[in-house]
Amino acid sequence: MGYKGYGGGFGGGNQMQQLMKQAQKMQEDIQRAQQELEDAELVGEAASGAVKVTVNGKKVVKAVNFDSSVVDPDDTEMLEDLFMAAYNSACEKADALTEEKMGPYSKMGGMF
């Protein structure tokens, strides 16, 4: 009938317990990495720091700062462009951090 021992051919219960412990540790590591991404503060800048956008590792905007030198009521388009540049810079940093923290787990095919 083919089954040898407990565990359906996985080499017994001891090996299955070890696999379960490894999976649990991996899940804890993933949760820790996700929390680190949520807690991170990454700052993107434009116009030599005159515009700053702070995001977390999940690209949620936490703060926006404009130096008064770039605030021109007659040229809001420039301010919009500077904001987009700063935000994109922050997002690139968030992508790099995400790859650093989650990269080892991305090859698991969404297992967790």
pTM over 0.75: no
Q: What is the pLDDT of residues 73-103, one digit of tens each?
A: 999 999 999 999 999 999 999 999 999 988 8
Q: Give pLDDT < 50 ranges for the chain.
A: 111-112
CB distance 20 to 52 below 8 Å: no
Hey, where are the domains in the chain? 22-102
pLDDT for res 112: 44
Give the chain's radius of gyration (CA, Å). Answer: 23
Taking CA atoms, 108 is separated from 19, 23, 52, 62, in Å, by: 15, 11, 35, 31
pLDDT for res 108: 63
pLDDT for res 103: 85
Does domain 22-102 fall under CATH 3.90.650.10? My reply is no
